[in-house]
Amino acid sequence: MDCPMNQFEAGLGKSLVCIEYPGRVVNVDKMISTLGGIRNISTAYCEKNRRLELRFRPDDVFCKPACGDKQQVSAVLLKVKVRRRKSDDQIVKVKTNVVGKINSVFRFTNLCDFQYLSMHAPPNDLTKMECIYNTLVPDGIVPLSWINKPAMYFLPPAAFSRMDTVQGYMYRKDAPSEAAVPHNIIGRTRRRRSIHAVFVNFDVPEIPNQPREMALKLLQVKFLEDLHLNVVKKLFEERPVWSKYALMCKTNYTSDQMKFLLPTVAYYFVTGPWRVMWVRFGYDPRKDTSARIYQTLDYRLRRKGGMTTKVKAKRSYTNYLLPYKLTPACQAKVALLNKELPYSDMEATAKSKNDSEYRESNYMFTPGMVPPSRQMFYQYCDVQVPEIQEMMQKLPLPLPDFKCHERDGWLPSGFADQCREIINNLVIETLKTVSPLTDETSSSEATTSRKLEGLSDSSDSDEQDEEDEIGEWEVDEDDLQEDDAI
């Protein structure tokens, strides 16, 4: 084989994407159409965890696709040309070229979803099936009368099965206390996963004073030492009410670690002025007027001024994708180790400033910043707005016979609305100054689209170069024939 080193290195300079098509390709254009075209192939390649869809009937909108998963590989695409004599079919010369290197490959190794054809059996002959596709899907631009024509009831689901891989099903045992659960309760099959935490409503007579024994035992199971527990206890001694994310920013502990540490030092308020907050065991904020600075401020971004288009939502139903379009991103969870925990002040300060500022913005609000989500749960002590803090200081102390309100707590009625209006005005002023960022985002999207178009253009030019190269081989000798293999 003739494969010089310079040709080998030149071929490795081109990166390619491999698609292991589960079929015999005769017509390349039809093969690409079954994959949704160049644009859909580019989308599956550029987006993270996106799967490549293969529809064996691309003209049928009811066709369920077979999905290919993207995998990282280290491979090389070779182009082999074999020259033979026409007289005795003997190999004369073999030439090998490196076309490019392959880093990503799409493989169709999963099962295809159930197919449901648009067929109907007429009442007069149940043994004969008729196609009703033309009555369901319009062919081009149709008149208004086509919509008023009668059609069969044919509404198959978007996906019959959520999974296309073989799963080992684990059957559940019958719940022993099923008879004790009322039948009119919604969500009877999904119980709260409390990790042995104590959940408290506002109207509870007495607050808990100590954690559950199982919560303390889980610390040893999850490899959490007394050092971690003492750090959290010290923070609750300084401040009796915390949000989970505020503690994560103060301690640099992960969410999974806080999930087991918090139930050992605090209880969780489900309703009331301190809802979604963790309160130290033995401390009752309903009896302490100074606990008003720890109350929850539920701030939600308003829709005026296009604010919701500039702040990302936690969940978006407009960009919903069917389950089979994405590769499962979850992985098996392992035991929590302490490799990310800061054991000294030097390791704690080694974190980058940009990362700490970003993390603080998830529980603290300061003028000049934009909330990271459209709904935020702040504590009044973490709202670092001078106007709001001045309002808090000027509030008079409640009368001795005043009881803590279930909605307003120790604050007067309407105080939360005034704070939301102040924060809302600050956010609007900040968004006016950062509005040029949207132009940069649109320009980057345009650049990405041009790259995708360039991908299709480059593939066409590569095919043209290969055709010209093959033509040069054919005119060398008349008595030789070639066999190309890739």
Q: What is the pLDDT of residue 312?
A: 60
Do 254 and 248 touch, CB atoms closer than 8 A?
A: yes
Do 448 and 386 touch, CB atoms closer than 8 A?
A: no
Q: What is the pLDDT of residue 316?
A: 63
Provide the terminal-to-terminal Cα distance of the chain, rounded to the nearest Å.
15
Homologous superfamily of domain range 5-107: TFIIIC, subcomplex tauA, subunit Sfc1, barrel domain (3.30.200.160)
Q: What is the pLDDT of residue 254?
A: 87
Do strands 241-242 and 278-280 pair parallel, antiparallel, or not at all (unpaired)?
antiparallel
Return the closest-CA partner of residue 462 out of 99, 198, 44. Answer: 99
Q: Say how far apart CA 299 and CA 170 lie, in whole Å.
A: 42
- Exposure pattern of 153-177 as b/e (b: 16+ CB <10 Å)? eeeeeebeeeebeeeeeeeeeeeee
Q: Tell me the domain boundaries of the chain.
A: 5-107, 196-283, 288-325+359-435
Q: What is the pLDDT of residue 281?
A: 95
Nearest 5°: the CA angle 357, 358, 363 is: 90
Return the closest-CA partner of residue 104 out of 19, 166, 207. Answer: 19
On the 0-12 / 13-18 / 19+ scale of CB atoms within 10 A, 100 is buried
Q: Say how far apart CA 347 and CA 368 lie, in whole Å.
A: 29
**Per-residue pLDDT tens digits for 208-243:** 999 988 888 888 777 777 888 899 999 999 999 999
Q: Say how far apart CA 365 and CA 419 lie, in whole Å.
A: 12
Do strands 296-300 and 375-379 pair parallel, antiparallel, or not at all (unpaired)?
antiparallel
**Per-residue pLDDT tens digits for 347-378:** 334 444 444 444 788 899 999 888 888 889 99
Q: Say how far apart CA 263 and CA 215 lie, in whole Å.
A: 6
Task: Write the CB contacts of 60 (distance below 8 Å, at least 6 apart in sequence).
Answer: 118, 133
Q: Say how far apart CA 264 and CA 217 lie, in whole Å.
A: 10
Report residues of the chain scoring pLDDT below 70. 1-11, 174-195, 303-320, 328-358, 435-486
Do 371 and 310 touch, CB atoms closer than 8 A?
A: no
**Per-residue pLDDT tens digits for 17-71:** 999 999 999 999 999 999 999 999 999 999 888 999 999 999 999 999 999 999 9
CA distances, 308 to each of 31, 369, 374, 375, 417 (Å): 41, 15, 7, 11, 19
Q: What is the pLDDT of residue 279?
A: 96
Do 280 and 241 touch, CB atoms closer than 8 A?
A: yes
Q: What is the pLDDT of residue 224?
A: 76
Q: What is the pLDDT of residue 468?
A: 35
Instruction: Enumerate the β-bridge partners of residue 101.
Output: 15, 76
On the 0-12 / 13-18 / 19+ scale of CB atoms within 10 A, 213 is exposed
Return the closest-CA partner of residue 380 out of 367, 392, 372. Answer: 392
Q: What is the pLDDT of residue 172?
A: 73
